[in-house]
Chains A and B, each alone.
Chain A
Amino acid sequence: MDLPLLWFLIIAFFWMGYLVLEGFDFGVGMLMRPLSKGDTDRRLIINTIGPVWDGNEVWLIVAGAATFAAFPEWYATMFSGFYLPLLAILAALIIRGVAFEYRGKINDDAWRARWDWAITIGSWVPAVLWGVAFANFVRGVRLDADHQMVSGFFELLSPFALLGGATTALLFALHGAIFISLKTDGEMRERAGRTAAVLAVPTLVVAGAFAVWAQVAHSAHTWTWVPVGVAAVALVAVVFATRARREGWAFTLSALTIAAVVVFIFGSLYPNVLPAINDPANSLTISNASSTDYTLTIMTWVAACLTPLILAYQGWTYWVFRKRLTAGAIPAHIGLPRRDPAKDPASS
């Protein structure tokens, strides 16, 4: 196998890791408010991803940096072309990340409420926009002969792309609901399980419509029906698993669904990395966007040595924090009071 193709697959793998892992993080953030009856519930939900969300997000950074290293043309065109969606995603990830860390630092309802909005918005925005972005990759964009993207911002919001956004938002919400039901016990487990069962059917309808549309209208290959089929079967099974409250199975299957969608996306792109809809000759391809074999060889060695280690220690983290959480496991607030006692004349 030639090196650019190998790196196309490695980057697809990084995206798969990112969307499967942060997919449920996003879902957890999206559902935090609707699934909660009070602050303890919210903390319970946040703490299901507490030790792992940051590590999950690194898959995105690595997917981006690997694209820079292995396909500079792809990185440059994609990131400058999708400027505003990426800006919104960055802003969302910023407020979401600090919200997890800072939410409990001051023991005050108004303080927490503000960060809860940051978590909500910071989870919904990327959940929708990643779908919009990937749908546009599959559909293709307008590229000039220098591989510069000349699609305007509103061209990125086609009905197909918006359906892509709805698909990822629903998939992540479902994945997150299942994750909460898998990681909690008691009332929350029940509530999240019910929500997952409710979400599964519309997710199947929307994701199914998107996948068939994408396959029929935009995929260059017949074989990509296979990941479409796998995703569909897995998602149908999710519907049954969530009704039967088989949380482990439901989670495995929703992860498989997202993984199959990623296989479909990159499969339908191949041999392009960013197809040009205006003139196929302008498409960015695996071969015309890649770095030199020398750079790719070094990167291959690095990735081959480190990726198994990463999977091992991230897997270990999930093992360490494998137990289900209950409301009783959430300790009292340890944040400082809202008012600074040093500035408050009433206190000593």
Chain B
Amino acid sequence: MATPVEALDVARWQFGIVTVYHFIFVPLTIGLAPLVAIMQTIWTFTGKENWYRLTKFFGKLLLINFAIGVVTGIVQEFQFGMNWSEYSRFVGDVFGAPLAIEGLAAFFVESTFLGLWIFGWDRLPKKVHLACIWAVAIATNASAFFILAANSWMQHPVGAIFNEETGRAEMVDFGAVLTNNTLVAAYSHTVATSLLVAGTFVAGVAGWLLVRAARNSEKDLARTVYRPAALLGLATIVIAGAGVVVSGDYQGKLMYEQQPMKMSSAEALCEGENGADFSLLTIGDLSNSCEGVQHILTIPGVTSYLGTGDFDGYLPGVEDLQEQYAEQYGEGVDYRPNLALTYWSFRLMIGFAAGSAALALVGLWLLRRGRITDSKWFGRLCLVAIPMPFIAASFGWIFTETGRQPWVVAPNPTGVDLVWMLTADGLSTTVPVGEVLASLITFTVLYTVLAVVWFTLMRRYAANGVAPAAGATAATGSSDDPGAGDGPGDPGGTESQPLSFAY
């Protein structure tokens, strides 16, 4: 390396760290909010107390997770201007709108109604309170839609033209931005993934607690509280898992049309070929060189099938594409992303997602027809499975974002001329590298500490299990009193009796 610290590298690491970190928490929020809403809905309409206890229990975990997702999200909104000001100038006319709409349509709803939900247990009528958690659940999913609209436009710009006079991309068709097929694929894949994360989380936590309860001779607790929750989680895994596969398949084929370089890198496919095999393992130096790459353990034709829907389909290789891009977009740029990173992150994404599938298979079998289990190894499987879809989701984003490199706005191969930008050209030009480094260090340190706190709290609160049934807690004055009714307070408008919840 010529210079010890390149501003571009620092800024990219900074973006990568804060974004991947943010997206550890986000899918759990997106997926868990509707699951908690479902639990509360069942309680509201059946009055069954086990669902009340589950709502409170998973609600607490949701809130611990939500807080960190919210605060790390503010950084996302600001850092485009801070580190990527030239990118912001170039895309703002198109990219800014979905971000602003996300704030207006989703963040306001999410934060306001979450506050109402947290503090409103005894102050709102039951059904209004239920509507609050649904508002949160819908808003988190709406937020995902708008931010993915922005991201999908970077992957596949549509509805925009290049204005030579202003030197920037300008929106001409907002409808096209919102119906971008890349967005349809990314949104369904992300929401399905989020539900997979949350389903695995609910099934894993409830399954582990079920085993513990069964072993502590609390069979009734295991059967009436944890088993229904585990089944809800397992059912979510099955449905979401199918959604992940279908949407991922669609997305993969779309990517071969729209960003062939990314998919060919994901397969470390150096030369174009018909009927390309899918390799499970590849040896050789993948670090941006095709020499010596050797695929072993391959499944014939599968890569071609994934890309084209035909086992004999033709797929272009990385080297072919490099030549083609050099001709199209200019010589002197390495248009290949980091091969090792794209290749392995793609495989790790798929591999880790299989953890959820294993949990679903075993769990559904062990809990069939009213059964519970005290199997120690099932408890362990639950714990091992919980982090897996988180890791898979992270690798999915690492794959799709690093696979887009060296572009920040990838060119649309079928249209919109000149609406593209290299990542290197998007960097802020006036920010000294030392300042970017300062922000990289600040966020890394801060986020590491918060990760420890988050993990500690999640583990402690999960291990604590559901609160005892209401009858048993009356003596301790617990707040977990179902349907406490109208809030106490005198006519003068003062809260003098203990609130059901306070910070």
Contacts and interface: CB of A to CB of B under 8 A. Distances in A.
Interface of A: 43, 46-47, 50-55, 57-58, 60-62, 64-66, 68-73, 75-81, 83-84, 86-87, 90-91, 93-95, 97-98, 100-106, 148-150, 185, 291-292, 294-295, 298-299, 302-303, 306-307, 310, 313-314, 317, 320-326, 328-332, 334, 336, 340, 342
B354 interface: no
The 10 A-B pairs with the shortest beta carbon distances in the complex, nearest first, are A72-B92, A79-B81, A69-B96, A101-B67, A68-B96, A76-B85, A80-B85, A329-B495, A51-B115, A62-B103
Interface in B489-503: 489, 493-503
B92 A321 contact: no
B429 A148 contact: yes
A98 B502 contact: no
Nearest to A291: B93
B111 A331 contact: no
A103 B503 contact: yes
Nearest to B67: A101
Given A150-B430, A322-B493, A329 B502 contact: yes
B495 A323 contact: yes
Given A78-B81, A298-B97, A328-B498, 17 more contacts: A47-B502, A52-B115, A61-B103, A64-B78, A69-B96, A72-B96, A75-B88, A75-B92, A76-B81, A105-B64, A185-B494, A291-B170, A292-B93, A303-B104, A317-B112, A329-B498, A329-B502
A102 B464 CA distance: 16
Interface stretch (B44-52, B279-287, B431-439): B431-439
28 contacts: A50-B115, A50-B119, A51-B116, A51-B119, A52-B112, A54-B70, A54-B115, A55-B115, A58-B103, A58-B107, A62-B103, A66-B96, A68-B81, A68-B92, A68-B96, A70-B96, A70-B100, A76-B81, A80-B85, A90-B75, A91-B446, A98-B453, A104-B503, A294-B170, A295-B97, A303-B104, A326-B495, A328-B498
Contacts of B119: 50-51, 321
Contact of B479 (A51, A90, A328, A334): A334
A66 B21 CA distance: 25
A324 B487 CA distance: 13
Contacts of A91: 442-443, 446
B444 to A, nearest CB: 12
Given A83-B431, A323-B495, A326-B496, A94 B75 contact: yes
Interface of B: 63-64, 66-68, 70-75, 77-78, 80-83, 85-86, 88-89, 91-97, 99-105, 107-109, 111-116, 118-120, 123-124, 168, 170-172, 174, 428-431, 435, 438-439, 442-443, 446, 450, 453, 457, 460-461, 463-464, 477-479, 487, 489, 493-503
Given A72-B92, A91-B442, A103-B503, A332 B477 contact: yes
Contacts of B105: 302, 306
Contacts of A150: 430
Nearest to A105: B457
Contacts of A86: 78, 82
A148 B112 contact: no
Contacts, number: 268
Contacts of A299: 97, 100-101
A305 to B, nearest CB: 9
A51 B123 CA distance: 12
Contacts of B71: 93-94, 97-98
A43 B453 CA distance: 21
A306 B142 CA distance: 14
Nearest to A340: B460
A84 B438 contact: yes
A58 B88 CA distance: 21
Contacts of B428: 76, 80, 83
Nearest to B168: A72
A58 B496 contact: no
Contacts of B94: 295
- Listed residue (A75, A93, A322) with the most chain B CB atoms within 10 angstroms of its CB: A75
B74 A61 contact: yes
B93 A323 contact: no
A57 B111 contact: yes
B107 A72 contact: no
Contacts of B118: 50-51
